[in-house]
Amino acid sequence: MLTPAERLEEILKLLDKLEDISADTPIVVEGRRDVEALKRMGIARNVVSIGKGLSIITFCENISRQHAEAVVMTDWDRKGGRLARSLKEAFEANGVKVNDRLRAQLVMLSKKEVKDIESMPTFIGRLRALANRQD
């Protein structure tokens, strides 16, 4: 089992990877709050919200016109899992390679304490506080 400091370090590494990838690959999230949460964590480029209005198929077709790859970063509740699968299928049907590994790794590192992207900044703050107490 990882200590809070080790979990924090792993999460920060994943966020660095996500920031690097976002230079030319869209990061697909569910809504506006997720976009804001990623910005607070230092990921401001190429974050795209599914939002309301477009079907998943149309949304993925639009992304596929400009990108050959996409990162799916939906919430890790049941609805987010279903959405991640739907996005993956629609992207792949349009020839877009889907990176869902980073989402899976964040899910594992946040365990049952966090179920969505918008809660990650607060969770990181808690891990920092716990890690500082252990030093």
> Hey, what domains does the chain have and what are their CATH numbers?
4-123 (3.40.1360.10)
Confidence class for position 51, pLDDT limits 50, 70, 90: confident
Contacts (Cβ under 8 Å, ≥6 apart) of 132:
none
Q: What pLDDT, on the 0 to 100 scale, is given for residue 53?
A: 82
Under DSSP, the state recorded for 118 is G
What is the token pair recorded at 128? 């920092």
- Average pLDDT over the chain reads 94
Q: What is the CA radius of gyration of the chain?
A: 15
Q: What pLDDT, on the 0 to 100 scale, is given for residue 2?
A: 87
Tell whether the model's pLDDT for residue 135 goes beyond 70: no
SS3 of the chain: helix, strand, coil, percent, to 5? 60, 10, 30
- Per-residue pLDDT of 79-104, as tens digits, reads 999 999 999 999 999 999 999 999 99
Tell me the average pLDDT across 13-34: 96
Greater confidence (126 vs 135) lies with 126
* DSSP string for residues in 14-54: HHHHHHHHTTTS-EEESSHHHHHHHHHTT--SSEEE--SSS
Q: What pLDDT, on the 0 to 100 scale, is given for residue 123?
A: 96
Tell whether the model's pLDDT for residue 60 goes beyond 80: yes
